[in-house]
Structure 1
Amino acid sequence: MSHRLTIKGQVTIPKEIREFLGLEEGNSCVEFAVEDDGTVTVRKAEATRPRFERRRAAPTRSSYAGVRPATGGVLALLAGGL
């Protein structure tokens, strides 16, 4: 089976292969090995560290306390000023 390579160098791993390797979306990593004969192998990578989710808090009104609006430059142009 063959798959097209995207402009970013990405390729979709077929569902049958993902199931065979036990890959889960967002929780799995793969590693590639290049052999002396030019064969490339893809396999499920072992977890080396726990996955941490980075969540950003939504900005609150107090987050902008003391911030003055731009009075010149590009921001003023975008806001219709100058």
Structure 2
Amino acid sequence: MTRAFRKSTYSSADRECVEVAIDDPHTIAIRDSKRPDSRTLHVSAAAWASFLTTLRMEQWSCLLQASASPATATLSTSAS
């Protein structure tokens, strides 16, 4: 079976990345973009969705923490 793997839009040619493909409505295939002929990891669509949700929550958590940190507040003040 030929899969249509996709690489993240955040990826560039010189970065390591994974590619994903939908095997069927219930299974996601994941592979290393630098080694497309290597083995493929298969996870359920539900597990993949949960993984992506967790990543998005972590991303927002990091952004919120950075904006609330005292270090960012002192960047806009000038020394007297």
TM-score by length of structure 1 reads 0.26
Task: Return the structure number with greater relative CO, CA threshold 8 A, min gap 6.
Answer: 2
TM-score by length of structure 2 reads 0.26
More helix by share: 2
Which protein is bigger by CA-based radius of gyration?
1
More strand by share: 2
